[in-house]
């Protein structure tokens, strides 16, 4: 997969995207990542990319010209242009899986009061938000998206089953995990995990995932129920 990031703050990406799984994905060639400074597409000596909003109001708005030129220079027929914005579709694991199927992502990181509306109307295929809160700019949301998507690329985790069993992969939180020693300060590993009976272990894990989800994220349970519309249910004879 190829990912290009268009931002006013490229230095923010140095470090987080050079470590751990993303670093290994880049080294292996499974992820081709490039971070671009939007000001490289400005044409005045001050490298201006923003201006005052029409109609008045506080802050500045990102201009059409540099973003249109940058997107046109970086795009191909396979490009999916994604705008990181609080107004976007909530980013979730299912969306990460969807993005992981793309050949090329071009991420637009907002700043100031946001983008000229003509950018949204003309260039953007998808708007995504990582949560209902305000950040200084779109760099951190872009990093979150890159991390979540990269780990879903084939071969990145080493064992592709790891991505299948993680939280949110089946609409549930992940079941409790344990490792050695079997007993620590009076706390024991559940005997079922030491039984060697994989079928029983699978049943226990499913039950624990459901219990944990009901306790900690009841909204996920409700969302799963809502998704099970009558049209999607199997008729019982």
pLDDT of residue 221: 86
pLDDT of residue 231: 58
pLDDT at 121 > cutoff 80: yes
Percent share of the chain, pLDDT over 90: 84
Domain-wise residue ranges, the chain: 2-150, 165-232
CB-CB contact of 188 with 182 (8 Å): yes
Task: Give the DSSP H/E element, type plus range, for residue 6.
Answer: strand 2-7
Alpha helices in 10-138 (DSSP H): 20-28, 64-74, 93-100, 117-122
pLDDT at 202 > cutoff 70: yes
The pLDDT of 21-42, averaged and rounded, is 97
Distance CA 150, CA 31 (A): 7
pLDDT at 186 > cutoff 50: yes
- Tell me the pLDDT band of 158, cut-offs 50, 70 and 90: confident
- β partners of residue 4: 34, 106
Distance CA 196, CA 198 (A): 6
Alpha helices in the chain (DSSP H): 20-28, 64-74, 93-100, 117-122, 139-150, 161-164, 198-216, 218-227
pLDDT at 159 > cutoff 90: no
Q: Going by DSSP bridges, is the β-strand pair 2-7/32-37 parallel, antiparallel, or unpaired?
A: parallel
Q: Count of alpha carbons within 13 Å of 122, Cβ hemisphere only?
A: 12
Please report where in the chains the tokens 């990269």 appear, as a residue.
150
pLDDT at 88 > cutoff 80: yes
Distances 146 to 22, 40, 95 between C-alpha atoms, Å? 8, 22, 12
- Tell me the pLDDT band of 235, cut-offs 50, 70 and 90: very low
- β partners of residue 106: 4, 81
Distance CA 87, CA 203 (A): 40
The pLDDT of 32-59, averaged and rounded, is 96
Residues with Cβ < 8 Å from 48, sequence gap 6 or more?
A: 42, 63
| pLDDT tens figures, 207-224 | 999 999 999 999 988 887
pLDDT of residue 33: 98
165-232 has which CATH code?
Answer: 1.10.1270.20
Q: Going by DSSP bridges, is the β-strand pair 104-109/2-7 parallel, antiparallel, or unpaired?
A: parallel
pLDDT of residue 117: 96
The pLDDT of 166-186, averaged and rounded, is 87
pLDDT of residue 237: 35
Which tokens go with 70? 């940058």
Q: Secondary structure of the chain: what % helix, strand, coil (to 5)?
A: 40, 20, 40
Number of helical (H) and strand (E) elements in the chain, helices listed first: 8, 9
| pTM of the full structure | 0.86
pLDDT of residue 226: 76
pLDDT at 71 > cutoff 80: yes
Q: Which fold has domain 2-150?
A: Alpha/beta knot (3.40.1280)
- Tell me the pLDDT band of 163, cut-offs 50, 70 and 90: low
- β partners of residue 5: 35, 107
For the chain, the average pLDDT equals 92
- Tell me the pLDDT band of 91, cut-offs 50, 70 and 90: very high
């Amino acid at each position: 997969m190829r990912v290009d990031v268009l931002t006013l703050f490229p230095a923010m990406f140095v470090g987080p995207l050079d470590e751990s799984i993303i670093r290994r994905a880049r080294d292996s060639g499974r992820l081709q990542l490039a971070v671009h400074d939007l000001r490289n597409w400005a044409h005045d000596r001050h490298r201006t990319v923003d201006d005052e909003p029409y109609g008045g109001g506080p802050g500045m708005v990102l201009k059409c010209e540099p973003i249109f030129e940058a997107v046109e220079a970086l795009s191909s027929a396979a490009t999916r242009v994604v705008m990181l914005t609080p107004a976007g579709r909530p980013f979730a694991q299912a969306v990460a899986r969807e993005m992981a199927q793309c050949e090329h992502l071009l991420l637009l990181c907002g700043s100031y009061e946001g983008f000229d509306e003509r950018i949204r109307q003309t260039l953007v295929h998808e708007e995504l938000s990582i949560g209902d809160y305000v950040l200084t700019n779109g760099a951190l949301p872009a990093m979150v998206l890159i991390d979540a998507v990269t780990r879903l690329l084939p071969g990145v985790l080493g064992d592709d089953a790891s991505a299948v069993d993680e939280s949110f992969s089946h609409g549930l939180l992940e079941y409790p995990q344990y490792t050695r020693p079997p007993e620590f300060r009076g706390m024991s590993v559940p005997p079922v995990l030491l039984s060697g009976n994989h079928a029983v272990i699978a049943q226990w894990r499913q039950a624990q995932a459901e219990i944990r989800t009901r306790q900690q994220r009841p909204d996920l349970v409700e969302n799963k129920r809502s998704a099970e519309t009558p049209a999607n249910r199997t008729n019982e004879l």
